[in-house]
Amino acid sequence: MSPQLEVQLIAAVVAAGCAIPGVFLVLRRMAMMSDAISHTVLLGIVLGFFLTGSLDSPLLMLGAVLTGVLTVSLVELLQRTGLVKEDSAIGLVFPALFSIAVILISRFAGNVHLDTHIVLAGELAFAPFERFELFGIDWGARALVTGAAILLLNLVLVLVFYKELKLATFDAALAATLGFAPALLHYGLMTVVSLTAVGAFDAVGSVLVIALMIVPPATAYLLTDRLPRMLGFSMLIGIASAQTGYWLAQALDGSIAGAMATMTGVFFGLALLFAPQRGLIAAALRHGRQRWEFAQQMLTLHLLNHEGTPDATEENRAVTLAQHLRWQADFAAQVVRRAEAAGLVRHDSGLLTLTDSGRQHAQQAFVRG
């Protein structure tokens, strides 16, 4: 496999793997927790490195997962004092743990391949050169093997615990009364987030980990209102971001991780604008349509109220309409034009009369109200 292809494959499996726990983080409104965890796991890696003296030991992974869970516990501990809110608690805990890791690295690990720049941005371009060999066989780039393992693990976990995760996320109290231990699921999810973060950031850096965990699920959330589809879309959007990000990086000759993170943002922006139901454009169109519908309803209602009364010739005139309904003259003229086109009113020498369907239209307003 060519290194270029391998880089894209690594990015794709990492993106898909990150999206799965990310969906639940987004739905639990815990997006910032991914930010915290993906930084603090560094402390676990550093401490694991000091203990074992090696960067390849599985103890590093374990240390990272433990610090991830520690981060969540500390945040919740602070929050439970009632003195700080969750976002502040996250903001207090993660810089503390992260900075300890940075100091430790700069002071004691200056000579090893463990530098803070790589932690933040990763070095995807070099990932294919670190191989994973077992029983004398080259199984592929180390990052690819780790990424695939994490993707597989997350897929299995979400399939096995789908019902439990959904319930605990939607209604933790019901989950607790039914005996589903939401706290256990919560920490289980946080463990998975930590594991995913540490496995992924080795290859792509912590910034891309956050982007891949949060942005594709947030994008998918705009596109669907079914959880299974949200999971699927998130993975696909993550993969698409990784792929297009890679091409962007090639074109710009820039950082691959940076380009991929940018592309997650581009996809989110597109969904924000063009999502069929929740997108801004769909909402604006809907709003515009409702404005005209409402105006027409008002017009027909006004005509109905004064129909057959002595002041009808005064009230139901196209010219005086704007004045009576406090509309702008050209807006009123346009409402009349549209209502006429829709067959709701007739316009005879300045006098407006309702058609039968216009009368029905007006009566609907009462029904709806």
Can you give the binding site for another protein, defined by CB under 8 A? 27, 29, 160-164, 166-167, 169-171, 173-174, 176-180, 221, 224-227, 229-230
The closest alpha carbon to 124, from 105, 144, 110, belongs to 144
Taking the least distance from each CB to another protein, the nearer of 100 and 227 is 227
Q: How far is the CB of 230 from another protein (least distance, A)?
A: 5
Shorter beta-carbon distance to another protein: residue 217 or 238: 217
Q: What size, in residues, is the chain?
A: 369
Closest contact distance (angstroms) between CB of 324 and another protein is 34
Rounded to an integer, what distance in angstroms lies between the CA atom of residue 125 and that of residue 220? 28
Backbone angles phi, psi at 305, to 5 degrees: -60, -35
Nearest distance, CB of residue 81 and another protein, angstroms: 10
Give the largest Cα separation in the chain, rounded: 100
Rounded to the nearest 5°, which phi and psi values hold at 61?
A: -60, -45
CB atoms within 10 A of CB 195: 23
The distance of closest approach from Cβ of residue 64 to another protein in the complex, given in angstroms and rounded to an integer, is 28
- For residue 182, the minimal CB distance to another protein (Å) is 10
Query: Would you say 27 or 104 has its CB closer to another protein?
Result: 27
Cβ distance to another protein smaller for residue 47 or 167? 167
* Cα dihedral 64→34→19→227 (10° resolution): 130
CB of 321 to another protein, least distance (A): 34
Residue 286 or 337: the one with the smaller Cβ distance to another protein is: 286
- Please give the full DSSP string across 240-273, using - where no structure is assigned: HHHHHHHHHHHHHT--HHHHHHHHHHHHHHHHHH
Nearer to another protein, 137 or 173 (CB): 173
